[in-house]
Amino acid sequence: MGKIAFVFPGQGAATVGMGQALIASDPAAAAVWQVVTAALPQLDQLCREGPLERLVETVNAQPALFGVDCACLAALQAAGVAPDVVAGHSLGEYAALVAAEALDVAAGLSLVRARAEAMQRACARPGGMLAVSGLTAEQVEAIVAAWNGDAVLAVANYNAPGQTVISGDAAAIRAIAPAFEQAGARVTELVVGGAFHSPLMAPGEPEFWPALAAAPFRDARVPVVSNTTARPATDAEVLRAALRSQMTGSVRWQQSVETLLALGVDTFVEVGPGRTLLGLIRRTVPREARVRLLNVEDPPSLERTVAALRG
């Protein structure tokens, strides 16, 4: 029998209403959400009612998503389901650390708040992100490397075969888009607050590092596959160090999924709003591989996933 991986979505999954049906119906999820909203009361109304433009601001979206991810996790754990290994996409790595018991919810929330505030201030320089579909990562890297000028451009996310995201100065993001289109790609400018996972986030790192150094990490109960290394680890200081470079480093999600498969995972459970990660996993898993793709974001999906894992 294969292993179960819990995977956690990141900031782009934030939507009005996310997690609220599960929080309203599941005591374990509600208890976690109470911890989050006791520290950040404004998140309760923002998640329930919006407006979306305020919810998706980095300073709100990151703690809100972390809280919803952890609430969904608590409901799944209360149903008796546990992972063999965990991973999270960018911000989702913090919820993965909670799932692995390397951090508790309160400590994770404190870290995420510090991260969000540091990144929000680093967004003072206009930046953006561009999703590039239909080219290999190597083709995207070559076009970015050949781009002339003083603008900052970097590969932010290696999401799946044929889907890569670049990040950098807002004007450069728009200017380079035709080069990808001429190479046969489809491009989509993402609605984000800044140039995440690029050198433009560097001003936020020194602000965030003291909070990271003080956080009470423990050795993880199950391996955590890090974004920046795509390697599993359980040692508390290795996990802490991986987060140190996450703000400016690339999210190696495709490589992380490949690592999970190599570890024997055949069941992926996306824990949190949406099914974006399951779509990326589906594109990464070899055609001949047989895997189960499940999710938990509301009462019906929780019921289906628990039934599937108990069957």
Choose, from 89, 167, 197, 256, the residue flagged as catalytic. 197
Phi, psi of 142 (to 5 degrees): -65, -40
Choose, from 89, 90, 256, 301, the residue flagged as catalytic. 90
Environment class of 26 (CB within 10 Å of its CB; exposed 0-12, middle 13-18, buried 19+): buried
Please name the residue that has the structure tokens 């938990």.
296
Active site residue 198: no
HSE (CB half, 13 Å, CA atoms) of 61?
A: 24
* DSSP code string of 264-300: TEEEEEEESSSSHHHHHHHHHS-TT---EEEEESSHH
DSSP state for residue 57 in the 8-state scheme: S
CA dist 197 → 106, 125, 135, 250 (Å) = 25, 14, 20, 6
How far apart CA 260 and CA 223 sit, in angstroms, is 10
How far apart CA 259 and CA 255 sit, in angstroms, is 6
Active site residue 197: yes
How far apart CA 9 and CA 21 sit, in angstroms, is 18
**Which residues are part of the catalytic machinery?**
90, 197
